[in-house]
Amino acid sequence: MNELKTEPFVWPVRVYFEDTDAGGVVYHSQYLNFFERARTEMLRAMGISQTELKEKHGYIWVVLDINVKFRQAARLDDELLVTAQLQWVKGVRQGFRQEITRKSDDVLVATAELSAVMLHADSLKPARVPGWIKERLLNE
């Protein structure tokens, strides 16, 4: 297997009113959305469209498990930087590490470790990551 990419992908996110609770603090479930957006944009930056992946190739990616640690509160109007980085590939599973930092002070807001799996879209049975995708995920 080739080496993993050493630099994480970074996606900027602004906290909107809809992301917060009554106190102006980001509601805990919104962090999952921020992490998901960063992973999706990382794939898009690699030329992997999830719509095309399903419609043309018959695959979908799903999260198997996720462990989120909340470190600091993010608030309304904060600019956040969300990273996404592939950590490992084992059979049909892939592991990712993600971080959210506040841009203004570089404070770590939350971290996530997760595993994902590619499935055949029609049967929802696990599938090995196709070679062309694996090449894009890994350094050449």
Catalytic positions, please? 21
Nearest to 94 by CA among 84, 102, 108: 84
Let me know if 67 is exposed, middle or buried by CB neighbors in 10 A (0-12, 13-18, 19+). exposed
Specify burial of residue 126 (Cβ count, 10 A radius: 0-12, 13-18, 19+): middle
